[in-house]
Structure 1
């Protein structure tokens, strides 16, 4: 008995698969457009109709999706689009609404019978192919800094009473970044992406979804046009200074050269570094193009006006906007006078010595003049000379004391 049932089941499945495999297509005939009409299927090269017994939105939904006509708007019975001809290929079709084809539904393959004639031919009316929405940018620019928001508008040309919601997608990301539910009468919606990060930089498009009557099913429209946005994130620059080795930390010797280097890891084309000096009598700014990740500001001869607090920042112009990084930590630099070559004690000794030499020279000159004025005899002259020399020696000794 078990063997008999197995053989019977195998035969029935084989016959069913043979019947399904024999289907060659599906079409809608005699409707208002290509997405409405009497349902006809092809089997063994011949077109035939479908009986409307048990025909409802589930089956109509499968037919519309299979034909690329969107969701079902109506499931029609009683040859609403006129009676067909030929064979009635399908009877008692039962679908869940999610099958990819009518041939994948539970069905009974049959031909005309007294209770299912062409007066019972099934028909459908589909919503039609979904229109492609249009994405536009409400924000006045396409370049943003981190933390800002970008506003888009997504619209569809014709209203649809089955509209459910709109979605904003980023290229490469499968899930929507923004979802906005709408009333069925809305054709345009604003989609705002807040708190931008560098992750959000890229290309965006939008889609809308419509919902069917039965079962509860949603169908997405084709994606809209794309809009690219740029997100700028400027890192706080680092900075340091270099000067002569004999200068104390945080100081530069007056008249000596020194350099201040500004550096950042994040760069954009056309960027520049700005060095800001805050001093007691105002603020001074210098700027250099950021041709590399770091630039050096050179001061060939330090002066008192170079003393103060130095800050580095990075700035760039993109998309008609100017973006400026945060300032670096303050770098205090003081300008010191050079140390004197001679100490005060050495200078005192030099002054004393110089004074002694000058005094000696003066005394010798005076003594010489006095001695030359003496007009006496040779013996007296010798005595006078000796006296002058002795006086000079005494004077020198006293002055030295």
Structure 2
């Protein structure tokens, strides 16, 4: 394809794309409500995920220059203002790039000879960015569009570049390479903290559309990582704390999505929406200290802010008392490690001040210090790396064990019950809590309701997706009557498994976890463990299933009877002489499922039930997400084939059910992790899977060999012998039919008979070589408004002129047994005749004669 044709194709593609979007009801084609063409109709765009980056893409697609602003109207429609006549291209963000100006429907670059600082100020204002920080050539690539020949003469106060005076740049119709204007506008400072003495503490506010308002962040994802992003954006050190505050009356706020706070680079592209609310967020940042490049907010290389710049600290100038102050200042627990080279080399200059804290100060800069004379530099790897321990901010209360009870969280120095969004709350979440508290595996969890509403900490279930996230959760206060109660196994756990009911077994003794050697563990022990962690009976227990033991293998042999409630309730004895296990011999345990289908003749059809807290109940699933994919997961998990149908059934009165989230059914591996909660409902679910039928049986019967089944490797017939094949199935459903399929390497044929008493008999005349091949029985039945079928094992049949030695031996044995039987009959008759008197001889002779006649007649 030549270059002209390629350019034409690109133009056509661009035109087609631009036809999919348009801006309407604005003062120009580049301003207004965004609409998208869908199946020939124009529909307003309503999308909460749109931000300034998305809007910039729409402006480019519409050939409308750079994005100026984006907002939502009262109906949440997206409204965009594009700059129309100027744009920055090939930049690192929307406020930088090579400047292009639109004249006569085409875009052209600007020569830096024709552009000065006042012109740059106008352009940066026009595209809603901060003042220009750089404007020079060759910053953002060579010119791809024609360079214009117009010199701009802006005064600096104009609202748009094309509103400025200009004149033709005579004699300068072209630019030397690298002289097209590249412009970098500074981003606006559109976040601030107000209401406290420090600029790094207070209520979070945002500037948008030239108006400062409090920010209300969608709390489901608002956590300490989000707060850390704000502190970093404001150059305020580490995040210390955050809380939600409520005011007496609703006032305008900027609502914002927490996705904006996933990284600092996205903060300035956040698109708020106008709402009235009574909630805002109050944040405290450390102001003068921060930990960078760590694995979480409580670890990293220490940097201190002095004279508006950050510098590392040399480990020679820092001791344990200093570390205690820093950890307290950033809202973390006591220091566990402070040494050099933990978190990368210093990127900022290393400070030359020695800190002399006593350990009780509230901030590092409140400590005494002195100049570290003669030590103005640190050797490589000696910048302080600090690890503070996380605070224990979760607990279980109300039961005799610390590993059971109501979940509570410490926040703002107050312990409250926790209310987690139930939609995603499952046993993975419960497992995260148990792991966080070093309490073994999750056994059970339930929602509890109290008589009166009281303050709780509302928390997002996202916090429980992994244990590492728990301490970053940022709760919000509310009044509810709901909390969560847990039971953890305390002393046993399964690790590195595919779900909570499988893994390598570890037992806790003397506050440490150790694996168990398979020599010291049997089926009765496994039954106890599976029951203890709230799973079904053991299906497998053997070594090397779930990785090598990472903890020392215990030296105790368990002697469970199988009925105990906990492994440590079992008798045990020291495994003398077996203090260690060979590699791969640590016990790996797999416990079975907790779902079933009941109420029909087949285990693969019926009402869905779940066992929880040792009680089987119908399952009621949130119908909004319950679909055939969910049903397919159930069928697959029960080894019942694929999903055929499902329906919701309603009963006359409410009865106890296990309510469960449909998220549990997104994958088969998640089923065992589902955490139900106790409710009453009229609703249950009835499911039919394709594996509805049991397997039919196939039998061969012949005049010479008797009966054999398809479970044998093969059956052999003598040529010319009569034979029959019987198909049968265990009684499940009335009626149906059997199809006998005969196949060879060359062809396949079949015949069908109705099922009578759950079987059918196929008769054959003298066997010939044409009967050699494979036979299968297929049972077909129509039930539940669907056709189902099930196929038997194959029966392989051969036909031979002479029987095999085995067959001959069998026949010889049969003949000999028959002859022996005849001899025995004659013998016993003779004995009986001898015992009879002469008076009976005439009668016996008459009977024998009659018998002989019958035999002759028969012959």
Q: Same fold (TM over 0.5)?
A: no
Q: Which bracket does the TM-score occupy, shorter chain normalised?
A: 0.3 to 0.5
Q: Which has the larger radius of gyration?
A: 1
Q: Normalising by structure 1, what TM-score?
A: 0.33
Q: Normalising by structure 2, what TM-score?
A: 0.18
